[in-house]
Chains A and B, each alone.
Chain A
């Protein structure tokens, strides 16, 4: 398989974290606190078989699971060169030297994505962003920011952060996990019909959620209690599932028709693909049991 067609695999190594952000999307049903040894064995055999082009270690806070991440990286067969990233809260970057030390503790690393926004800023000083960026520059790693937002105005803190040249990925907050408990959500003034022409935006990517399994879903469905229709023990089982067939074959408009639902029930919140997906897909799967 050509490199471009190989999948991107996200790995939730543990949901444990040293912070407690108000908007945290890590739901208690998403995964376990820490990946186990037997899961690492399964994961490694799947990685060696499927040869993903990219591994993204996430959490919780992946820096708390460096040992587990290194066990995975050490057991992967070379030489196909997997691009490796972490998504971190960067709280370890109290100084550039501390950040360099932590980043060097990973057996392989190409890219660091730091989650930083008004919510993380309640715990993590701005200096950590600059220290981590500088550490990445010294170690020749790519560096980017991930900003969770409720509205576009939440991005204006970037004006004073002065991060010219740093790539910023925005993440519209969905009502999952603590974001749901705290009534935090990205709000749309009106329903955006263009979502009906889209498919699940996570196609081409899979996530392994420790304690649960492999899934395309990193949104609502994977966080549902009793999520066995959406999450599977192996990649092959997931790709053969009715759930995967549905989300990979149909646009949301197609799914809506398949479910026999009309557009009348759609609200502004359904402009978010995951919200629309949650509205449609569980019903289709239940009716086809």
Chain B
């Protein structure tokens, strides 16, 4: 795993999208361009993103 892969995996776990194992597996499926997009997102908005599992009352769709 490259450093970029790790940054993305940590981001996915920290915002509640995957557990560690699934995050690592998911990162492996991404193309280089997709990794660049996700690492940009991680760098710029990780503090503002949070998962609402399952829907809470924000279930508008």
Contact = CB atoms under 8 A, between A and B. Distances in A.
B24 to A, nearest CB: 9
Interface in B38-61: 38, 40-41, 44-45, 48-61
A170 B49 contact: yes
Given A169-B50, A171-B52, A89 B37 contact: no
A19 to B, nearest CB: 9
B23 to A, nearest CB: 9
A25 B61 contact: yes
A192 interface: yes
B54 A202 contact: yes
Given A174-B54, A190-B21, A159 B37 contact: yes
Nearest to A30: B59
Contact of A153 (B34, B48, B55, B61): B34
Nearest to B59: A218
A190 B19 CA distance: 10
A219 interface: yes
A61 to B, nearest CB: 8
A153 B59 contact: no
A236 B32 CA distance: 54
A1 interface: no
Given A168-B49, A202-B54, A192 B44 contact: no
Interface string A170-182: 1110100100000
A190 to B, nearest CB: 6
B61 A115 contact: yes
B19 A192 contact: yes
Contact of B54 (A23, A113, A152, A219): A219
Contacts of B19: 192-194, 271
B10 interface: no
A188 interface: yes
A174 B55 contact: yes
Given A152-B17, A156-B41, A219-B55, A189 B61 contact: no
B2 to A, nearest CB: 17
A73 B31 CA distance: 50
A188 B18 contact: yes
Contacts of B58: 10, 56, 58, 87, 113, 115, 146, 169, 171
A26 B26 CA distance: 29
Nearest to B21: A190
A172 B26 contact: no
A148 B61 contact: yes
A258 to B, nearest CB: 20
A207 interface: yes
B30 interface: yes
A-B complex: 9 closest residue pairs judged by Cβ atoms: A10-B57, A87-B60, A274-B54, A156-B37, A189-B25, A192-B19, A24-B61, A115-B60, A218-B59
Interface of A: 8-10, 12, 21, 23-26, 56, 58-59, 87-89, 113, 115, 119, 146, 148-149, 151-153, 155-156, 158-159, 163-172, 174, 177, 188-190, 192-194, 201-202, 205, 207, 218-219, 271-274
Given A166-B48, A168-B48, A170-B15, 9 more contacts: A26-B60, A58-B57, A87-B58, A113-B58, A146-B52, A189-B21, A189-B22, A192-B18, A218-B55
